[in-house]
Amino acid sequence: MEVKRGIPVSHGIAIAEAFVLDSEEAVIPRRQIRPEETDHEVQRVHDACAQAIKDTLEAKSVAARTIDEEFLAIFDSHVTMLQDKSLREDITRIIENEQATAEWAVQQVMHRFIKLWSTNEFLADRVGDLFDLQKKLLRSLLGKKRQGLNAPAARFVLIAHNLTPSQTVHLDRSKVIGFATDTGGRTSHTALLARALGIPAVVGAGDITAEVNIGDTVIVDGTSGVIVCRPDTDTLTSYETRVRNMRVRQAKLSLELKDVPPETQDGYRVELFANIEFPEEIPAAIEHGAEGVGLYRTEYLYVQKGHMPTEAEHFQEYKKAAELLAPRPLTIRTLDMGGDKLLEETGGTRESNPSLGCRSIRFCFEREDIFRTQLRAIMRASAFGNVRVLFPMISNAAELRKAHSILNEVMDTLKNERISFDPNVRVGIMVEVPSAAWIADILAKDTDFFSLGTNDLVQYSMAVDRGNERVANLYQPAHPAILRLLQHVIDTGRRTRVRVGMCGEMSGELSYTILLLGLGLKEFSVSPAVLPEVKEIIRQVTMSDARTIARQALAFEQVEDTIKFLSEKTREILPDFA
């Protein structure tokens, strides 16, 4: 049994057999062999080389019909590499010393050379040949077996080097019940999509693809970030029990709590909203008790298409969402992506520091055409439901005024075109740049509501890139600096009569619910899956207790003490809170 850790990005526990994909998206087969199988494995390597040579010569003769002879040398050099005795010796040595399969040994040896050659400027260009060689050998070794492994019949946990957003979206949820990847960070789109799809997931687990073999039983705990490979009986039983209890509790909560308000014992009522990526998530969110959508992320429109979304494409989605949710409020956030992702489309230049660069609202000011297209679509959709506009990454008052002025122009144009929209649309801003948090009182004059974007607020404040495994532990929403900042914004909102909500992940973290309640947060926008539990906590406490607890939490100097304190308080309410 091996226990690995990664970054938890999507709640839940998945227990199943593993299916493993490496960085080449080749299937990495079983690692261990028995001593008596050694000779057989070594022979397989020889056979695979012979087959690969045959295939290469065949490819060469096909190529010879159309390509000049001087270019055929590449095939010859591949053949020579396949005949290379020291390569075979290296592979054989690994099979013998590590009791590994031929495929594993081939991969290890090739990876070593690839790494070696990649650092040599002279050889870096030839690394492609090594990848080719590896593919040829693996293809020979895996042969027919490969087909079978590509389509597991039963439910499984996917272990991969990396998963792109579109791969994540296309996962067959009836089969893939959880996944874990070597790379990736908490705020990557893959992580967000995993949450939206409700699949337990852990990313940034380092070398999990090296640790897990196909067919191993694996437990992926997307709540704690733990991955257990080949669990022993006790561990397995304990996790299975947890899963069973979780399911029972969630079903119970959903049923019991669906129609009751998020109100404290002493009658203080807050609002519970949902964060969504796609309009299709809305019905499920409502089922979970969402009273609105506090954050509708629109980036998927820019990522999936491969071209800049047209006004019609925007409008179609926003209208759908507004109608599904009406009369509940739908908060649509304008483009919050890095310009680098949109580079191909817009022909811009690479930035050395994209996260602090021309992204989000700044990019929208640079490309007003893109901004107006989205705003037009949002305003048109406002005629079909209860729409709110949310501007991200505002860092000063001038930006806010500019955003408003563009929005007003858009509204004027629509009026002239006699296209209907809701003129009373509420317009708010994400409070995520620390400067905006500190001048909340100034921005309050031009804002209908604030939405605390704690993900970025914490990153900017603590100077931490959450996706960087080396410093990710410095990302601490409960840090006294953050708590004081949150208190400041919420107090300012109260004073200036501007509603303050939170759509960052912190709002859905159960150990912070009482704290946020106590600070005076009025709107919690969370992932639909945790809505019932957040509601449960709110309903079990009194506002006066929450205020006391918040005050106590803010007094701690060390974040570890704050967390311990809050976890204890939460456990008193939710006994099986981990």
Partner 1 sequence: MRVEKVVVLHNETGLHARPAMLLAQSAASFKSRVTIAKGEKRVDAKSIISLLTLGAAGGTELTITAEGADAETAMQTIANMITGDFESDDCPDKKKMPDGH
Confirm if 209 and 8 have CB atoms less than 8 A apart.
Answer: no
Q: Does 77 bind partner 1 (CB under 8 A)?
A: yes
Q: Which is nearer to partner 1, 123 or 236 (CB)?
A: 123
Closest alpha carbon to 503 in 415, 400, 432: 432
Contact region with partner 1 (CB under 8 A), list: 4-12, 76-84, 392-400, 497-505: 76-84
Q: Which is nearer to partner 1, 126 or 494 (CB)?
A: 126
Q: How many CB atoms lie within 10 A of CB 29?
A: 20
Judged by CB under 8 A, the chain residues 368 through 427 that form the site for partner 1 are none
Smallest gap from Cβ 137 to partner 1, in A, equals 13
Q: What is the 3-state secondary structure (H, E, C) of 171-213?
A: CCCCCEEEEEECCCCCCCHHHHHHHHHCCCEEECCCCHHHHCC
Q: Which is nearer to partner 1, 43 or 77 (CB)?
A: 77
User: If 0-12 CB within 10 Å is exposed, 13-18 middle and 19+ buried, where does residue 402 land?
Assistant: middle
Q: Does 85 bind partner 1 (CB under 8 A)?
A: yes
Smallest gap from Cβ 42 to partner 1, in A, equals 15
Per-residue CA distances from 19 to 58, 149, 153, 213, 264 (Å): 33, 8, 11, 8, 45
Q: Does 65 bind partner 1 (CB under 8 A)?
A: no
| Among the listed residues 23, 25, 39, 50, the single contact to partner 1 using CB under 8 A | 50
Judged by CB under 8 A, the chain residues 128 through 167 that form the site for partner 1 are 129
Smallest gap from Cβ 84 to partner 1, in A, equals 5
Per-residue CA distances from 515 to 271, 352, 502, 545, 565 (Å): 16, 38, 13, 10, 11
Smallest gap from Cβ 364 to partner 1, in A, equals 49
Candidates 161, 189, 314, 479; catalytic one: 189
Smallest gap from Cβ 1 to partner 1, in A, equals 38
Largest CA distance in the chain: 86
Distance CA 459, CA 477 (A): 9
Q: Does 438 bind partner 1 (CB under 8 A)?
A: no
Distance CA 425, CA 431 (A): 19
The residues pairing with 10 across neighbouring beta strands, listed in sequence order, are 201
Give phi and psi for 28, each to the nearest 5. -90, 115
Contact region with partner 1 (CB under 8 A), list: 117-125, 265-273, 364-372, 435-443: 117-125
Q: Which is nearer to partner 1, 54 or 495 (CB)?
A: 54
Q: Does 64 bind partner 1 (CB under 8 A)?
A: no
Distance CA 189, CA 193 (A): 6
Catalytic site includes residue 358: no
Sign of the alpha-carbon torsion through 435, 439, 512, 550: positive
Q: Which is nearer to partner 1, 127 or 574 (CB)?
A: 127
Confirm if 144 and 5 have CB atoms less than 8 A apart.
Answer: no
> Could you tell me how far CA 99 lies from the centroid of its own chain?
37
Catalytic site includes residue 503: yes
Smallest gap from Cβ 26 to partner 1, in A, equals 20
Smallest gap from Cβ 511 to partner 1, in A, equals 53
DSSP state of 309: P
Contact region with partner 1 (CB under 8 A), list: 118-126, 281-289, 412-420, 549-557: 118-126
Contact region with partner 1 (CB under 8 A), list: 85-93, 259-267, 324-332, 474-482: 85-93
| Among the listed residues 3, 67, 73, 419, the single contact to partner 1 using CB under 8 A | 73
Strand, coil or helix: what is 15? strand
Distance CA 2, CA 265 (A): 45
Smallest gap from Cβ 91 to partner 1, in A, equals 11
Q: Does 245 bind partner 1 (CB under 8 A)?
A: no
Q: Does 76 bind partner 1 (CB under 8 A)?
A: yes
Confirm if 218 and 17 have CB atoms less than 8 A apart.
Answer: yes
Contact region with partner 1 (CB under 8 A), list: 51-59, 250-258, 421-429, 439-447: 51-59
Query: Which chain residues interact with partner 1 by CB under 8 A?
Result: 50, 53-54, 57, 69, 73-74, 76-77, 79-81, 83-87, 113, 116-117, 120, 122-123, 126, 129
Name the residues annotated as catalytic.
189, 503
